[in-house]
Structure formats: C-alpha cells, structure tokens
Amino acid sequence: MKRIAVYCGSATPADSRYVTLAREIGQELARRGIGVVYGGGRLGLMGAVAYGALDAGGEVIGVIPEGLVGSEVANHDCTDLQVVSGMHDRKKRFTDLSDGFLTIPGGVGTMDELWEAVSWAQLGYHAKPVGLLNAFGFFDHLLAFNRHMIEVGFIRQAHAGIIIAEPDLDVLLARMAAHVPHVPIFAMKADDL
C-alpha cells in the first residue's frame, strides 16, 4: 500500500489518548513510507494524523470540500491540499487516491466514510482493504452491530470479512496488506443474492 485514506474525527475529545493515537498513526504510516490521504483539516484527530505524518517526513494529501476551506479549518501545511465541491466528491477522491482505508475513532462523518467504503467494497466499486482500528475498545458496539447484521442476513457471508478490525495498528496493517478481495455483488448471480 502506497497510500491509505485515514478516516477520523475533526473533534478533539477530552481524553488525550485519542489525539496521541492519531499523531502516532500518522508517524507510523510515514515511517513505513505510506502516504496519508485524509479530510484536509488541521483540527482534532485529523490534524494530529496529518502533523504526525508531516513531522515524520511523510506525504499528506488533504481533500477538503470548498465550504470548509474558508472556515479556517483547512490544513495548508499538507503536501497537497485538494479542494473539491462537496462530500461526495471528497469520498470519491479518497477512493481514487488510496490503496486502502483506515478508520480510527471519530463521529458521524467518520462513520459515513467508513460505511461508504464498506458499501462500495461490497458492491464492487473498489477491491481495497477496509481497516478499522478498534483502539481502546472504541468500536466494540459497532463491531457487535456489524456481527448482528451478518447473523440476521443483511450482510452476506461473502461480505462478512470486508471490515478488517484489530486493536493493534501493526497487526491491522499486516492484515490489510494481505487482503484478498471478496466476490462483489456486481459479479454475483441473482441466485447468490
């Protein structure tokens, strides 16, 4: 993987572990020679990932909707700051520029990005690994809900492994690098659906 899209919060939680984690992730990706593609902001976990990677000499590509540039949240220190018209264009650009997706703690926008990456993988719009770093058990309930959707039958068994979740970054990156694409819906017959 040459570049990974990192999905995370633009907020700064009271618990400083999250900001520290984000900065360390940026540093580690840069150390491994993996470029960061992210939301283009300078605040919260987004900013921590970006500055961690930049401080370690890594490539950082920010993709930000034009509506957020003027609100002084854009990170002009990025290696490349790309301004797009809106959120749909932003997520498509993430997909086009990256070789995989890494979700770390965040809020509604982060969940939107994660689920779109999962949905697009399931359909066949991309065949890239979708990683979820379950740091501090942050995603325990989300992973339980994902298992529930599988058990009930709303996620097909062929797609049950799309989300690659681990609590440890090294293990997660190794699993993402070893990712074998599943059979997407676009390649299935009606009887398989």
pLDDT in tens, 28-87: 999 999 999 999 999 999 999 999 999 999 999 999 999 888 776 899 999 999 999 999
Query: What's the pLDDT at 192?
Result: 76
C-alpha–C-alpha distance, residues 64 and 81, integer Å: 8
Report pLDDT digits (tens) over 94-148.
Answer: 999 999 999 999 999 999 999 999 999 999 999 999 999 999 999 999 999 999 9
DSSP 11-47: S--SSTHHHHHHHHHHHHHHHTT-EEEE--B-SHHHH
Q: Model confidence over 101-113: pLDDT tens digits?
A: 999 999 999 999 9
What pLDDT does 1 receive? 95
**Residue 157's CATH number:** 3.40.50.450
Q: How far is CA 34 from the centre of its chain?
A: 14
pLDDT for the residue numbered 2: 98
The pLDDT of residue 117 is 97
β-sheet bridge partners, residue 6: 102
Q: Which domain holds residue 38?
A: 3-192
Q: Can you give the pLDDT at residue 95?
A: 96
- In 3-state terms the chain splits into helix, strand, coil percentages (rounded to 5) of 50, 15, 35
Please check the confidence at residue 150 and state whether its pLDDT lies above 90: yes
> Total structural domains in the chain?
1
Helix (H) / strand (E) element for 132: namely strand 130-133
What is the DSSP secondary-structure string of 45-81? HHHHHHHHHHHTT--EEEEEEHHHIIIIIB-TTSSEE
Predicted confidence at residue 72, as pLDDT, reads 63
187 pLDDT more than 70: yes
Give the pLDDT score at 143: 98
Give me the pLDDT at residue 134, please.
98
